Amino acid sequence: MSIFQPDGMSRRHFVRHLAATAATIPALEFISHVRANAAELKKNQKSCILMWMSGGPPTIDIWDLKPGSKNGGEFKPISTKGDLQISEHMPKTAQVMNHLSVVRAMSTREADHGRGTYFMHTGYVPNPTVVHPSFGSVVSYELGTKRKELEIPAFVSIGGGREGTGPGFLGMSNAPFVVDSNGGIRNADLNGVSASQLGRRLDMLGSVEEGFINSQRGESGQSHKEIYQKAVNLMTSKQMDAFKVAQESPETLARYSPTPNGNAMGGGMGGISGFGRGLLMARRLVESGVPFVEVDFGGWDLHNDVFNSLKNRMLPQLDAGISALVTDLKERGMLDNTVIVWMGEFGRTPRINQNTGRDHWAASWSTMIGGGGLRGGVAVGETDSDGIAVASGKSYLPGDIWATAAHALGIPLDTVHTSKRGRPMKIANGGTPIKELIS
């Protein structure tokens, strides 16, 4: 027998086992009951979706507008279903803002792309002595390992995988599993190798591996086998369907996209946007029990021509994607178990530069957070009338955002991880959950 038998009992084994022990309950009925419970269980599992705005989004034009200020720019604020106003180019999102809140008093110091990416993902500033885990890896470590039925990785990054978003000292088993927004997984395709041929290969591999494992050469051979087992499970898992966004109905696909055209799958920006497709995949992954999904949306480094870029290109995609995701999760009863976080590496200068662009700015900007049972429709903190400083006294760090998410995910805040050199590290860098968001 192959040592690569996938984990868990086969259905037939289960049925046979059951027939021998639980004769009083009709077996099949019992199974369907178990299955229903499993589905219920998955629904109640907590997850987090991070929308990562790579490049640094101009939050002054999206979540915290400054009408009347010289820094205000071209856009007007509109009212929403929540207790705050947002950009006029986010009309669909405005309709779901009762579920989402904006933290308007971020002040994060790091205004370099690399350092900002690291700081916002991990809660820690870069340090040459240690590589910190991104929050996705922390969730993978804390929640993923407990989900035995999960055959696909616990931290999936759609279009991401940048430096500073990795597992750090938590080890490669908590690394983001990077896929593109078409759900393409590099090298997961069997390229015409049949199931029986794969079986023979794995059988042959198994015996070579066993030979090495039993040669008194330490533990490494065994770890190799385990990684291969995971990879094989992944290649053959039913849960891989979660990556197949094309299985969704054209109507659903269309809702995630700014253009009302759902038949152009795989056509880049021609049909459904990469971001929208990524969010839809994120929803499917969360439904399959994946606890952390990051969706990367690039193109925010708007040093030039910020307003045209926003209203013609970026905001329509953002607006369609966020509103469709929130609506979908709500309809499926999953919103209260799914934390949604929206952030980039920093905001952008309130001052509009000579190229009608905005540059890097970390002193006063916004992030968005909602779902997962957190309070929606709230603006936390505020900036001054020109947007150049936090005016509310208290300002927030990424650790506070992640502490809020940890709270919603049920990860205890006194969790401490230890670096390879024995240095204790508090989860979310010891940040505090934002009290305005906790009901």
**How far is it, in rounded angstroms, from Cα 371 to Cα 375?**
8
Q: Which of residues 294-313 bind another protein (CB under 8 A)?
A: 301, 303
Q: Residue 411 in 3-state DSSP?
A: coil
Quick one: CA dihedral 256, 259, 262, 265, positive or negative?
A: negative
In the complex with another protein, which residue's Cβ is closer, 211 or 410? 211
- Least Å distance, CB 280 to another protein, is 23
- Least Å distance, CB 125 to another protein, is 4
- From candidates 21, 24, 187, 249, binder to another protein by CB under 8 A: 187
- Least Å distance, CB 344 to another protein, is 12
Give the E-state strand segments of 145-249 in sequence order: 155-158, 177-179
In the complex with another protein, which residue's Cβ is closer, 134 or 337? 134
Paired tokens of 6: 């996938």
Q: What track of x and - describes contact with another protein for positions 328 through 357 (by CB under 8 A)?
A: ---------------------x---x----
Backbone angles phi, psi at 367, to 5 degrees: -125, 165
In the complex with another protein, which residue's Cβ is closer, 82 or 399? 399
**How far is it, in rounded angstroms, from Cα 345 to Cα 336?**
26
Q: What track of x and - describes contact with another protein for positions 42 through 71 (by CB under 8 A)?
A: ------------xx----------------
DSSP codes joined into one string, 312-337: IIIHHHHHHHHHHHHHHHHHTT-GGG
- Least Å distance, CB 216 to another protein, is 4
- From candidates 230, 313, 330, 426, binder to another protein by CB under 8 A: 230
In the complex with another protein, which residue's Cβ is closer, 94 or 154? 154
- Least Å distance, CB 274 to another protein, is 16
The size of the interface with another protein (CB under 8 A), counted in residues, is: 73
Q: What track of x and - describes contact with another protein for positions 260 through 299 (by CB under 8 A)?
A: ----------------------------------------
CB 439 within 8 A of CB 375: yes
Q: Residue 205 in 3-state DSSP?
A: helix
- Least Å distance, CB 191 to another protein, is 6
By CB under 8 A, tell whether 121 contacts another protein: no
Q: Which of residues 378-437 bind another protein (CB under 8 A)?
A: 420
What does DSSP assign to residue 70? T
Non-local (6+) Cβ contacts of 261 within 8 A are: 254, 270, 271
By CB under 8 A, tell whether 128 contacts another protein: yes
By CB under 8 A, tell whether 131 contacts another protein: yes
**How far is it, in rounded angstroms, from Cα 240 to Cα 233?**
10
CB 409 within 8 A of CB 46: yes
What does DSSP assign to residue 6? P
In the complex with another protein, which residue's Cβ is closer, 12 or 421? 421
- From candidates 46, 66, 104, 225, binder to another protein by CB under 8 A: 225
In the complex with another protein, which residue's Cβ is closer, 348 or 375? 348
In the complex with another protein, which residue's Cβ is closer, 142 or 296? 296
In the complex with another protein, which residue's Cβ is closer, 326 or 425? 425
**Among the listed residues 389, 294, 378, the one whose alpha carbon sits nearest the alpha carbon of residue 343:** 294
By CB under 8 A, tell whether 217 contacts another protein: yes
In the complex with another protein, which residue's Cβ is closer, 291 or 373? 291
Paired tokens of 23: 């004769």
Backbone angles phi, psi at 34, to 5 degrees: -60, -45
Q: Which stretch binds another protein (CB under 8 A): 15-23, 94-102, 160-168, 256-264?
A: 160-168
- Relative to beta strand 155-158, strand 177-179 is parallel
What does DSSP assign to residue 374? P
Question: How many other C-beta atoms can be found within 10 angstroms of the C-beta atom of residue 371?
Answer: 26
Token match 């299985």: residue? Answer: 247
**How far is it, in rounded angstroms, from Cα 310 to Cα 198?**
49
By CB under 8 A, tell whether 362 contacts another protein: yes
